[in-house]
Amino acid sequence: MTGAAQKVPFSPTEPYKFCPADGTRLGEPRPSGGAQCPHCGRSWYRSSAPAVGTVIVEDGKALVTVRAREPEKGRVDLPGGFLEVGEHPVDGIMREVREELGVEIEVVGAPILPETHTYGPDGGYVLPVGFRASIVRGEPNPTDDVAEIMWLSANEVDAADFAWEHDRRMVRAALEDA
C-alpha cells in the first residue's frame, strides 16, 4: 500500500461514498448497508471479495507458497487468489494455480468454506473458498506472486509462518485425510 493510501481512512465495512456509475455522492447508508445514488437511482453495497485457495497433496506432503508481495510478504500462503468478475470458483483456482505454479490441477471433492478474513490489516473482507486438488500436468515452479514453494509434512504445519490461520487448518485437515 502506498503512503497516500494510508492517509485516507476507509474501513473494510464502511459504505461507499460515491456512485461507481456516475460519481454522484451517495445518500446516507440504509441499515442493510446499501446506499442509493440520488442521480441514477442505483443502490450500492459493500461485499466480501470472493477468493479461492487450494491444498495440493502429494506423497503425504502439502504444497504451500511463500508470498512474494504485500500484504503478508514473506509469509506462508496457499496457491490461489481473487476471482475475476463472473468467474466460476473452479475455473478461478485452476487459473490461479496455472499462473502461480505453471501446472494444471483437478479439484478433488467438495469445496471447503473457511472463515472470512480481511486482506491485510487495512484491506476489505475476503470470502474464501477452499479446494483440495491434484496436479494432473506439469512440475510446479514459482512465478510472479510466489517467492518459493515448499512441501510441508504434517509435523511441519504447526511451525510454518502462515499468513492466515484458516490456511494452516486447511493444510492440517488435508494431510490428516491424505
Residues that bind Zn ion (CB under 5 A): 19, 21-22, 24, 37, 39-40
Residue 35: CB minimum distance to Zn ion, A: 10
User: Given the complex with Zn ion, which of 36 and 118 has the nearer CB atom?
Assistant: 36
If one counts every other C-beta atom within 10 angstroms of the C-beta of residue 37, the result is 20
CA Rg, the chain, in Å? 19
Tell me how far apart the alpha carbons of residues 69 and 62 are, in angstroms, rounded to a whole number. 21
Which CB, 38 or 109, lies closer to Zn ion?
38
CB of 27 to Zn ion, least distance (A): 10
CB of 36 to Zn ion, least distance (A): 9
Helical H segments across the chain, by residue range: 3-6, 89-101, 165-177
Of 24 and 143, which CB lies nearer to Zn ion in the complex structure?
24
Query: Residue 112: what are its φ and ψ, rounded to 5°?
Result: -115, 140
Strand partners, 120: none
Q: With respect to Zn ion, which residue has the nearer C-beta, 34 or 114? A: 34
Smallest gap from Cβ 175 to Zn ion, in A, equals: 50
C-alpha span between 132 and 112 (Å, rounded): 8
- Dihedral pair phi/psi, residue 39, rounded to 5°: -90, -55
State in angstroms the smallest separation of the CB of 23 from Zn ion: 8
* Cβ closest to Zn ion, residue 37 vs residue 63: 37
Q: Rounded CA gap, 158 and 61, in Å?
A: 14
